[in-house]
Structure 1
Amino acid sequence: MNRIPPLGDQQGLWQAVMAAASGRCQCRGTCGKNHAKTGGRCDRVHGGYNNRHGGGTVHLIAAPADPADMLLPAHKAAALPKHQVSAWCPACHDATHRAAHKAQQASVPATGPDSLFDL
């Protein structure tokens, strides 16, 4: 059975992360963009307007700061201390997660054929 922390605990963590980030995405290029026009940091702010990818309001999420930690199971990621959690806009989070997954797949050594079938 997956145990999810009470909403109050999640809300407190989210608020602490957003306060530390000043309500702005903390991506500094791990998504694949250099964010050069905005000083090297993503310019999306919580509640702001997303002028790309269909528009709408930006809703920042609190997720692991280290891209490798994004691959942790949900219960382990939720247990990270708040200094290891950052604010992410969905676009930067998704791109960073994909890049971390791709890097993990590339680091897995290719296995040879099973010795059972060696001739």
Structure 2
Amino acid sequence: MSRVPPLGDTEGLWQAVMAAAAGRCQCRGTCGKSHAKNGGRCDRVHDGHKQHHGGGRVHLLAAPADPAGLLLPPHRIAALPKQALAAWCERCHDATRKKHQTTVAADEPDALF
């Protein structure tokens, strides 16, 4: 498994998050899938093969572990400590973010001011 960090990982934060996650997505169902076949945790590993949607490689992201944190602006996410981050595959990250956006939008009043 290749663990080449993203270009912006000058502090080694991405590598620390991936090491803590053993290079595997840490989603436990917040994306809407139960991941039941894999003990309740997503089975995608960094640089592994995608099985659907044309194949390709899985690239894990270091992003907030708390789904509400996925809605923070990028500069706030960048300031989070590594203990507040988790490894996410793109599919789980996007699905969790979209699901949480919908929940938050439904709770907010529908007004301009």
1:30: which partner in 2?
30
The residue type paired with residue 17 of structure 1 is V
Deviation string, structure 1 residues 47-80 (Cα, Å, up to 9, x no partner): 1100112211111010000010111010001101
TM-score (norm 1): 0.84
Residue aligned with 2:106, SS: helix
2:69: which partner in 1?
69
The residue type paired with residue 54 of structure 2 is G
Question: What do you get for the CA RMSD once the two structures are aligned?
Answer: 1.4
Residue aligned with 1:101, SS: helix
- The question of 1:105 aligning with 2:101 is answered no
Matched positions, count: 105
Give the CA deviation at 1:16. Answer: 0.2
Give the CA deviation at 1:7. Answer: 4.0
Residue aligned with 1:62, SS: strand
Unaligned runs of 5+ residues in structure 2 are 1-7
2:5: which partner in 1?
none
Residue aligned with 1:8, SS: coil
The structure with the largest alpha-carbon Rg is: 1
Moved over 2 A (4+): none
The residue type paired with residue 53 of structure 2 is H
5 Å-filtered alignment, 1:1-119, equals 7-9=9-11, 12-111=12-111
Residue aligned with 2:62, SS: strand
What percent of counterpart residues are identical? 63
Unaligned runs of 5+ residues in structure 1 are 1-5, 115-119
31-40 or 49-58, which deviates more? 49-58
